[in-house]
Amino acid sequence: MKIDATREGGSALLSLDGRLDREWAEHLSDTLQELLQEGVRTVNIDFSRVTYASSAAPRLLARWQQELTMLRGRVQLMSVPPAVREVFTAAGWDSGLDTTGADGLRSSDLRRSSWHARKDFAASGLYELSAGNQEGALTCRLHGDPARLGQARMGPGDCHEVAMPDGSFGFGVGAIGRSYEECQGRFGELVAVAGCIMYYPTDGARMADYLIGGGHDEVVPRAVLATGLSCEGRFSQMVRFSTRPEEAAIPLSELAATALDASGSKVAGVVIAAETAGLTGARLRRSPADPAAPLRFEVPAVRDWLLFAPERTHAMTTTVITGVVARSPSGDIAAQLTSLGGMGRLFGHFHAAVFSYHPLPQRTVELPVLLQGLLANQQLRDVLHLVSDDRGGDGAGESALVRGVAWVAPITEIC
């Protein structure tokens, strides 16, 4: 068996030649997996030169058809010979089967991507903006004082109980709960979005935890934040992004700058769902409310407080990132933001919830459906405070993404 792949944007043509037995059906599955990870969502398979097909082939392709349908893509079988068609019909294959010729189909005939770079600096990514909701805007609330993290133990007066309903997002150092007394020994990195809270407890837990709101009684999940931000309102733009063909990844700072431009504002809130090339982040080992001692950032004491890798981690995972980005911020919000590498006077604060890999749809995406699907079907691996390690060759650099979707809106009120 021989498998030739021709790709154009989000579509691919696979030409098969020979016997598609069980072993080669697995090779075909591996090829489809690789294409999916590269962003392909529409696959046409030319069977005109297939002389035999095992019953393993229709079962395997039915699974991939279902997978791509969930991602708003499709699998189309073309030029299927009568003997091979019988195998697929016997297996109950009832769609995506075509007996018409495919000899004239060329890669240039496949649907082309409409993605384009918005700005000259966007050297690594291709971006497509939705029409958007011109009335979309966010109110941002600041919680706690990040400067106190390295000065004193966080007490009850430093912490805020925050409701995280659908239609809001938040991030920072916190814990799922309703009071300081309940949460003080567990404060860790936290991400809340679309009525779900994800965080990594610092009480010796070995796995991240999460809480999903909703249900018949419309339960709203709550967290206590020692420091961080929360935003509520409506998004104004959706930005789809993918790497340029010659690039391996998109720096987070580039995507953040593009999202900020899309918002038309000097400060914006962002939620990103993406497939990763690698993340640069840190996670607390101990709660900043630990009565033993305040958080310390100097070496070597910081190693007891923070988990930080000298290189990017979590490559080939799926992540949900929440954050705020601004140019030359002023006022109280400036204390919550740090410089983003590589983009001049761009500042931001981002946290990420990391899941086992699952390809993301590249058409219409509903954020609550996407997030609850990840929590139901994928493993929540980590929750990180993303950082930019700009120490040159000795540093880990910044987080890098491959493709995904970002929701963005201007922040019009800060309180």
For the chain, the residue count is 415
The predicted structure's pLDDT at residue 106: 28
Residue 316: Cβ within 10 Å count: 12
What pLDDT is stored for residue 99 in this prediction?
Answer: 42
What are the DSSP calls for 208-273, one per residue?
Answer: -EEEE-BTTTTBPPEEEEEEEEEEEE---EEEEEEE-TT-S-EEHHHHHHHHHHHHTSSEEEEEEE
Q: For the chain, what is the total number of helices (H) and then of strands (E)?
A: 7, 22
Tell me the residue type at 162: V
Cis peptide upstream of residue 300 (ω within 30 degrees of 0): yes
- The CATH-assigned architecture of domain 2-109 is 2-Layer Sandwich (3.30)
pLDDT reported for residue 111: 29
pLDDT for 363 equals 65
Contact 374, 387 (CB under 8 A): no
Residue 110, pLDDT score: 28
Contacts of 148 (CB under 8 A, 6+ apart): 154, 158, 227
Please state, in angstroms and rounded to a whole number, the distance separating the CA atoms of residues 114 and 139: 33
pTM over 0.85: no
Closest-CA residue to 401 (of 243, 311, 313, 276): 276
What pLDDT shows up at residue 392? Answer: 64
* Residue at 85: amino acid letter: R
CA distance 231 to 312: 28
Amino acid at 42: T
Q: How far is CA 291 from the centre of its chain?
A: 35
Q: What's the average pLDDT block by block, 10 residues per block, for the chain (415 residues)?
A: 86 90 86 86 90 84 81 85 82 56 30 36 76 84 85 84 94 94 94 95 92 74 95 92 89 93 93 96 91 70 82 95 94 92 80 94 79 91 91 79 94 95
Q: Give the position of tokens 């384009």.
A: 116
Say if residues 229 and 196 touch (Cβ distance below 8 Å). Answer: no
Tokens of 19: 């016997």
* In the chain, where the domains are located: 2-109, 125-414
What CA–CA distance (Å, rounded) separates 68 from 91?
A: 19
